[in-house]
Structure 1
Amino acid sequence: MNRLHPLSAIAYGLQYGFIWLWIPMVLVLVLGGIIDPVSPAWFPVAAPLGFVAGVAYGIGYYYRFEYGITPDTFDVASGVFARRSREIPYGRIQNVDVRQGVFQRLFGLATLSIETAGGGATEATLNFVSESEANRLQEQIRRRTADAKDRRRKRESSPAEEREPVDETGEITTESDETATPTDTEHSADPDPTVPSSDPTESRRDRAPTYEPPRRRKLFDLESRELLLYSFTSFRPAAAAAVLGLFFIATDTFIELLVTIAQPVGGPESIGEGTTTNYGVLTLVSMINGIVITYMLSVAYTFATYYDFRLGRADEDFVYERGLLQRYSGSIPVEKVQSVTVTANPLQRLIGYAGLWVETAGYGPDSNGGSQSAVPLAKQGRVHRFTENLTDVETPKFRSPPTMARRRYLVRYSMIAAVIVAIFFGIAQVTALDRWYLAAIVFAAVPPAAHLKYVHLGYYVGEDHLVIRRGFWSRRTTVIPYYRIQTVSTRRSIFQRRLGLASLVVDTASSRTFFWATPTIYDVDLEDARGVQRASRKRLQSALRERARDDDLGLSVDFT
């Protein structure tokens, strides 16, 4: 078993030291209100004691944290008082990601994270290992994971009578294993020279077969022009959250700054001194500045996140690297891919660009879901070719919903516009707001909004894939192999039943449904929805039988 880098002892010591610093201070504060002899004057003594105890615990955590590679599992043992040992089978490992922050890159360190299939969080994290050790572990675990899956597929595809016998512990036994002597076993197992070991008599379980790292094939590089376009044409909600957080932390400072900026264009001299017009100018200027600041933060965040983005292929996995301040390196297992989505907002469509995302079953590093960017931004034709090569889907010929759906959107958006006018009318009754009726101009946006929503909806029922297109502000075209479909359900609201329409919800094993809605075919005729449902069910069964016979991954790993 191996330990983390020695610098992790210092990091853990400081981390727990500052956490435990507050424990005795809180105890003194609480006990001071209950027991008279306890006084807040004990703070100068209690705080250092808590810090020293935390540092001791952090150093103990470092010495009690061990990890190791075995032929069948990746083992992690941790805990100072409550010991926890984990054996992670390679067949369940989905992603092995390496992350480097600014501090870590300066000292040649890295953090390695292991995610398992179906998990919503990291299964094991190795903080502060050397960069070379992180890369070695990443390559070895990835290779062993691929080997475990290959062995499983071979066992599942071989006839029952030809399968190797398995003992009660689940290990494969052969006649040669039963008759082998200890001497033969020792000489037949060669230690892996790449695995550090201080014990020359370590067991066979701790030894690993020698292999060469897989050759990576470059599939996509994000060019400088594409990176800038992607940064300026996309928006990150995290930027808005950051601005709101800074505003609540330093509210007074922000208000003074906004008042100062608004004064030259007619804003109030200070809060509490000014007319209604002055405050209107302040509100408008503050909104504009908030939007500009949020947008620039989003540009900077996107640029730093996808700087030097590279996508490649290693064995049966896609591997990627990205990041300026924090460098990420991870993998996208091909066999875990549930669907492929082409995304483009109006500005990106205007300049002829699009992005490509893949949905995986389980944990996804980009958004705490099962989604990962394969191509952040590229020419639409190039992205479409990537998609066709990745999924082997034929060029889709989309079917649009009936025109009745457009009438439904007209009614829906008209109701929203009426609510907006009613809100302005209510404000006018309790304030000095005049001409509230000017809010009725929102009705002018109803027809184009209904039309744009309608024309961006479509679906295609192919031989091996179901393709769904929806969305105007963020148009998403999702390609779903039939064998990845979990359920296909028909949903009808009260209004849809009156119009004879229905929506078809296609669910896969992907966990990213919180940020992106489940792929849905909206507002099609009821009979068409039922026809698509029957066709999807029938082709799902055919795809499963064909995959069981051919034992194929179903997705090509050749973008080019």
Structure 2
Amino acid sequence: MNRLHPLSAVTYALQYGFTWLWVPVVLVLVLGGIFDPISPAWTPIAAPLGFLAGAVYGIVYYYRFEYGVTPDTFDVSSGVVARRSREIPYGRIQNVDVKQGVLQRLLGLAIVSIETAGGGNTEASLNFVSESDANRLQEQIRRRTADVKDRRRKRDREAVAADGQESAADAPNGIEGDNAALGDEDGTSLEDGVSEPRRPHRQRLFDLEARELLLYSFTSFRPAAVAAVLFVFFLATDRIIDLFVITAQPLGGPAALGEGTPTSYGILTVVSAINGILITYLLSVAYTFGTYYGFQLGRADDDFVYERGLLQRYSGSIPVEKVQSVTVTENPLQRLIGYAGLWVETAGYGPESSGGSQSAVPLAKQGRVHQFTENLTDVETPTFHSPPTLARRRYLVRYSLVATLVVAAVFALAQVTPLERWYLAAVVFAAVPPAAHLKYVHLGYFVGDDHLVIRRGFWKRRTTVIPYYRIQTVSTRRSIFQRRLGLASLVVDTASSQTFVWATPTVYDVDLEDARDVNTTGRKRLQSALRERARDDDLGLSVDFT
């Protein structure tokens, strides 16, 4: 068994020290208000004692934390009072992530996180190991995981070939019998005496070039930037408002708050909104640039592997067998310059992602992304079917109602404020026809031989390719308005996690009969695809990116 890097003892000592520091402080303050003999003046003495106790606990935790690599499992033992020992089989390991912050990179340290099947929770985390040990563990565990999966597939194929006469436990190349395959051949010895398998061949698929990184940074938006701006505004509200007032003064804004006219306040509002949007956008650009700096995508055995990050460096993998669907994403600006991105959806796991969504290609030429998508999924070039024109009329009515609510809100505001000419808000009706048309023309679906392809969205158009064997359920949904128009929406659910950002792929507003036909076809082809995969046991994912 191995221990963490010695600097981990310092980290745990500080972490638990500052956490425990507040325990005696709170006790002294609370008990001091109840019992007279206890005085709040004891706080300067209680705080160092709490810090010392926490630091001692952290150091003991470091010495009690051990990990090791065995032929069949990755073992972790931890705990001071309550001891916990975990044996993680390689067959359940989804991914080994390596993360480095700025300070950790300077010190040559890294955090290793081991994720298992069944969700995005970390099964084991090593805080901290040396950078070389982190990379060694990552490659070592990934290779052993791939070996276990290969033996499992080989055993299943042999069991099928034997027509059920040979059970999995009796297979000549079962897991137990193949442990010898992890011997010294083409491997090197480890510290704990376990032989390291041959280093997997890594094929590079995509590098994010400097020009593509800049384009991606300036043509995408990160919601985290909004949260950062709001947080800073909350901490320094008065200073930021004063800065906005000073910025608006050359354009006719008020000299100070409480000393302006309605017109000057209107100018202040507009200038402040523009400044806020500009600052948020620049933060989004910086965040995207730092997150995807040095992005590389490759393949090692049955995993897509990636590296990225400027200040914080990440490296991890996307298990190929857990890929449920792939999605091509484009916003209007990216479509204008002929670029697109590619995301993959995984089953219940998404390292550093949106709950199962992981970027495979942040941004590249549309031709390259579409070529990569076709090579990755073997999907034929889709010919999309659009919803009936009746759906466009539905969107026209929907957006007209939204515009009516906007005008009504402005009218209500004019009744309690000096706002005049509220009726100018009716200009929003001019945006209703183009909005309805743009929503309609960006909807489409394609029922292929092996895949269902769904396209939707204007501001963030997503084209999702779903293999039939990955479909969990296909359900037809109809609202009150859809029933009156004879329309229906088809919801296609996979094992990937639905998140706030990524909704379940849906074919919107098609004829009811078409929806039923797609539903029936999807079920039939799902069964055929499952039978073929049971016979071939093939991942069905190639890796060419040309």
TM-score range relative to shorter protein = over 0.9
3-state secondary structure, aligned to 2:231:
helix
Which residue identity lines up with residue 190 of structure 2 in the other structure?
Answer: V
Counterpart residue number, 2:383: 397
Moved more, 259-268 or 108-117: 259-268
Which residue identity lines up with residue 105 of structure 1 in the other structure?
Answer: R
Listed as ranges, the matches of 1:326-345 within 5 Å are 326-345=312-331
Deviations 1:515-555 (A, max 9, x none): 11100000000000000000000000000001111111122
Asked if 2 retains the 8 angstrom alpha-carbon contact of 1:166 and 1:173, the reply is no
CA pair 165-428 structure 1, distance change in 2 beyond 3 A? closer
Find the aligned partners of 2:544 and 2:384 in 1 and give their Cα distance: 26
Counterpart residue number, 2:10: 10
Listed as ranges, the matches of 1:295-314 within 5 Å are 295-314=281-300
Counterpart residue number, 1:181: none
Q: CA deviation at 1:211?
A: 2.3
Moved more, 100-109 or 114-123: 114-123
Listed as ranges, the matches of 1:9-408 within 5 Å are 9-159=9-159, 160-163=164-167, 165=169, 172=176, 193-197=188-192, 207-408=193-394
Asked if 1 retains the 8 angstrom alpha-carbon contact of 2:100 and 2:109, the reply is yes
Q: CA deviation at 1:368?
A: 4.1
Count of equivalent residues: 538
Q: List, as ranges, runs of 4+ consecutive aligned residues in structure 1 with deviation greater than 6 Å.
A: none
Deviations 1:91-130 (A, max 9, x none): 1111111111111111111111111122132111111100
Gaps of 5+ in 2: none
1:422 aligns with 2:408: yes
Counterpart residue number, 1:455: 441
1:441 aligns with 2:427: yes
Q: CA deviation at 1:173?
A: 6.9
Asked if 2 retains the 8 angstrom alpha-carbon contact of 1:60 and 1:80, the reply is yes
Q: CA deviation at 1:172?
A: 4.1
Counterpart residue number, 1:485: 471
Q: CA deviation at 1:164?
A: 5.7
Asked if 1 retains the 8 angstrom alpha-carbon contact of 2:188 and 2:195, the reply is no
Find the aligned partners of 2:105 and 2:54 in 1 and give their Cα distance: 26
Find the aligned partners of 2:375 and 2:183 in 1 and give their Cα distance: 42
Find the aligned partners of 1:194 and 1:286 in 2 and give their Cα distance: 63
Deviations 1:16-53 (A, max 9, x none): 11111111111111111111121221111011011111
CA pair 189-381 structure 1, distance change in 2 beyond 3 A? closer
Counterpart residue number, 1:476: 462
3-state secondary structure, aligned to 2:195:
coil
2:481 to 495, 511, 514: 495
3-state secondary structure, aligned to 1:521:
strand
Asked if 2 retains the 8 angstrom alpha-carbon contact of 1:334 and 1:557, the reply is no
Deviations 1:149-197 (A, max 9, x none): 1121122222333346469xx97479xx9xxxxxxx9xx9669754213
Find the aligned partners of 1:271 and 1:39 in 2 and give their Cα distance: 46
1:558 aligns with 2:544: yes
Find the aligned partners of 1:362 and 1:148 in 2 and give their Cα distance: 21
Find the aligned partners of 2:456 and 2:18 in 1 and give their Cα distance: 49
Asked if 2 retains the 8 angstrom alpha-carbon contact of 1:164 and 1:172, the reply is no
Asked if 2 retains the 8 angstrom alpha-carbon contact of 1:68 and 1:75, the reply is yes
Find the aligned partners of 2:113 and 2:65 in 1 and give their Cα distance: 15
Find the aligned partners of 2:312 and 2:183 in 1 and give their Cα distance: 40
Find the aligned partners of 2:46 and 2:263 in 1 and give their Cα distance: 56
Find the aligned partners of 1:272 and 1:84 in 2 and give their Cα distance: 63
Task: Report the identity percentage.
Answer: 78
Which residue identity lines up with residue 343 of structure 2 in the other structure?
Answer: W
3-state secondary structure, aligned to 2:122:
coil
The CA RMSD measured in Å over matched residues stands at 1.8
Asked if 1 retains the 8 angstrom alpha-carbon contact of 2:188 and 2:197, the reply is no
Which residue identity lines up with residue 125 of structure 2 in the other structure?
Answer: T
Find the aligned partners of 1:528 and 1:497 in 2 and give their Cα distance: 14
Find the aligned partners of 1:498 and 1:164 in 2 and give their Cα distance: 55
Asked if 2 retains the 8 angstrom alpha-carbon contact of 1:316 and 1:557, the reply is no
Moved more, 4-13 or 109-118: 109-118
Which residue identity lines up with residue 196 of structure 1 in the other structure?
Answer: E
Q: CA deviation at 1:464?
A: 0.2
Q: CA deviation at 1:558?
A: 3.2
Find the aligned partners of 2:85 and 2:263 in 1 and give their Cα distance: 67
CA pair 124-21 structure 1, distance change in 2 beyond 3 A? same
Asked if 1 retains the 8 angstrom alpha-carbon contact of 2:486 and 2:511, the reply is yes
3-state secondary structure, aligned to 1:503:
strand
Find the aligned partners of 2:354 and 2:439 in 1 and give their Cα distance: 29
Deviations 1:36-80 (A, max 9, x none): 121221111011011111111111111111111111111111111
Deviations 1:317-348 (A, max 9, x none): 11111111111111111111000000000000
